[in-house]
Amino acid sequence: MGKKILIVDDEPNIVDILKFNLQKEGYETKEAYDGEEAVRLNNQYEPDLILLDVMLPKMDGFSVCRKIREKYNTPIIMLTAREEEIDQVLGLELGADDYITKPPSIRVLLSRIKSNLRRTEIQEKENDNSSGSHIINVGKLQIDTKRFEVRRSGEDLHLTIREYELVKFLAERLGQIFTREQLLKEVWGYEFPGDKRTVDVTVARIREKIEDETQDSGKYIHTKRGIGYYIKYVTD
């Protein structure tokens, strides 16, 4: 049976187009036309990925994303007809893994879906096949590759899956600088160019969570101006 995708959009023509193309690729689909139905179907259907429109009746996409993230780490791709940066930033801050503007290029959308599903499969295999030490230590941070958690001094920092993946990727390559394009390819798995702001927003969100303002400000994720990002713990 193919992977299950929940399509959430109040425009029937968009839903029909997405449903047709996804089923043609071998995916199983369910459809929701408002936010409340989306939350209910997610709980019942437990999809492998969610395509979530922003503008929905009864409960908007941001509220749906927030509600789902209370219990589930299912990959969420936000769909929006609006291109304002604030919408994209808000979606990522609420835990969405990706966003794409409507009407979406089917080729690009399918690529994003495959990359998000592939990352989930890789995580599961790494967890099943892991042996020996599964803790990466960087300063006061502990990256637990079995639990998919990042802790600071033993406290769980509640990172989203994408935030966790980015921290893990950089922590495994301490001091190595990666451009935004490289991170989009290696962490997000994009086969086509993505919006580099996705990386910047995710890094900013991670910094808010992992750095103790009184003790660790600026000590973990560093910016190489004009190039990209890297992790290196800086002691006093």
Q: How far is Cα 160 from Cα 150, in angstroms, rounded to an integer?
A: 10
More confident position, 213 or 138: 138
Q: Architecture of 130-231 per CATH? A: Orthogonal Bundle (1.10)
Task: Tell me the three state secondary structure of residue 51.
Answer: strand
Say if residue 84's pLDDT is above 70.
no
Q: CATH fold of 4-123, please?
A: Rossmann fold (3.40.50)
Residue 16: name the closest of 39, 4, 33, 3 by CA. 33
Cis ω for the linkage preceding 193 (within 30 of 0): no
pLDDT for the residue numbered 76: 92
The pLDDT-based confidence of 229 (bands split at 50, 70, 90) is: very high
List pLDDT tens digits, range 21-70.
999 999 999 999 999 999 999 999 999 999 999 889 999 998 999 899 88
What average pLDDT does range 141-167 have in this prediction?
86
Which of 69-73, 187-191, 232-236 ranks highest by mean pLDDT? 69-73
What average pLDDT does range 175-194 have in this prediction?
83
Q: How far is Cα 31 from Cα 17, in angstroms, rounded to an integer?
A: 12
pTM for this one?
Answer: 0.71
The pLDDT-based confidence of 89 (bands split at 50, 70, 90) is: low
| Stretch(es) of the chain classified as CATH 3.40.50.2300 | 4-123
Residue 221: name the closest of 86, 188, 205, 236 by CA. 205
Tell me the percentage of the chain whose pLDDT exceeds 70.
83
Say if residue 115's pLDDT is above 80.
yes
Residue 100: name the closest of 33, 50, 48 by CA. 50
**H or E element, residue 78:** strand 76-80
| Stretch(es) of the chain classified as CATH 1.10.10.10 | 130-231
Residue at token pair 């036309």: 33
Say if residue 144's pLDDT is above 60.
yes
What average pLDDT does range 138-147 have in this prediction?
86
